[in-house]
Amino acid sequence: MDQLAAMATFVRAVDAGSLSAAARAIPSSLTSVSRQISALELHFGTRLLLRTTRQLALTEDGRIFYERARSVLGEMKEIEEALAGNRREPSGRLRVSAPALMGRLLIAPLLGDFLRTFPSLSVDLLLVDRNVDLIEEDVHLALRVGRVADSQLVMRKLGEVQMIHCASPDYLARRGEPQTPSDLAQHDCLVFSDAPGVATWRFGRDAGSGQRVRISGRLWVNSLDALATAADSGTGIVRVPSWQVERQLAEGRLRRLLREHEPAPAPLHALYQPSRLGSAKIRAFVDFLVERWRGSDPLGR
């Protein structure tokens, strides 16, 4: 049995919804399609599909095999593209994940030019404030801020993100300006979090000896946009990426605080699987970001 071919047939059958539809799409005979799936079930010693005359249903083992098979087949396609290298224009589908605010403000505005530059490419942009599983979620490239724990991934540093603290002049006129991080205990802090409670803000350039301050926030929101808006309206002190509030700072609507106590910048990496090291479309996207950000420096490095 050609396991890779049988795997592709299995995925095609599940996607098509029936063995006969898969046979027409490949194209192949219905007998051949059925034989390949039966051979897979015999090889793995488990039932993968529940067959009826009109439709298919995945067993629990079949669902696990389907997700893994899709990933393997996707990697095989990436290998083909890598071996082709620069011999052809980047093409196909590129699935990218990024933090929600960064994706909306810094990535999405560039996609029009990127797609015009590479007309054979299409992009799926997934905006989520969590670390995605590149294999399970079929993501080709992830942009991630901070330390990367998964050493199995290939990393390319794109820049650094500086977190800053700021408040409106109106708030500071009413409550005074904090001179040290400890002064924040006497202030209304606006905290980015999914779960209200007690937060910790780190200060100081040295991560090992820097100061950590417990913050009991007056407002907890899982949106940096909403927090910046609240700070702009005089609600309290917010901690946000410098590039997010660049305009408000320039216009005087927000004032930067505790600058000498700010934490060290956090690295921004592009991450992808080692099997996609030579992917032309990943390389094209990362190089495009590096080139576009080099002059304007949107990360506020």
pLDDT confidence tier of residue 146, bands split at 50, 70 and 90: confident
For residue 198, count CB atoms less than 10 angstroms from its CB and return exposed for 0-12, middle for 13-18, buried for 19 or more. exposed
What average pLDDT is seen over the chain?
85
pLDDT value of residue 126: 93
For residue 209, what pLDDT is reported?
60
Confidence of residue 216 (pLDDT cuts 50, 70, 90): confident
Give CATH 3.40.190.10 domain extents, the chain.
Answer: 89-159+266-296, 163-261
CATH of 89-159+266-296, one of 3.40.190.10, 3.30.460.10, 3.30.1490.480, 3.30.465.10: 3.40.190.10
Question: Bigger pLDDT: 301 or 173?
Answer: 173
Percent of the chain with pLDDT over 90: 32
Within 10 Å of residue 274's Cβ, how many Cβ atoms? 9
d(CA 46, CA 60): 10
pLDDT, position 194 = 75
Look at residue 205 and tell me whether its pLDDT is greater than 60. yes
User: CATH topology for 3-84?
Assistant: Arc Repressor Mutant, subunit A (1.10.10)
Span of 61-70, 83-92, 201-210 with lowest mean pLDDT: 83-92
pLDDT on residue 4: 85
pLDDT average, residue stretch 240-267:
92
So what's the pLDDT on residue 94?
Answer: 92
Q: What is the pLDDT of residue 300?
A: 53
Tens of pLDDT, residues 127-143: 988 888 887 888 899 99
- Are 207 and 163 contacting, i.e. CB atoms less than 8 angstroms apart? no
Closest CA to 239 of 186, 181, 154: 181
Which range is least confidently modeled, 115-119, 144-148, 259-263?
144-148
Q: Is the pTM of this model over 0.75?
A: no
H or E element that contains 159: strand 154-161
More confident residue, 209 or 170: 170
CATH architecture of the domain covering 163-261:
3-Layer(aba) Sandwich (3.40)
Position 213 pLDDT exceeds 90: no
pLDDT at 52 (0 to 100): 65
Name the band, by pLDDT with cuts 50, 70 and 90, for residue 277. Answer: low
In Å, how far from its chain's centre is CA 285? 14
Q: Residues 189, 175: contact at Cβ < 8 Å?
A: no
| Dist. CA 137–CA 272, nearest whole Å | 13
In eight-state DSSP terms, residue 275 is: G
255 - beta bridge partners?
167
150 pLDDT higher than 70: no
Confidence category of residue 217, pLDDT binned at 50, 70, 90: confident
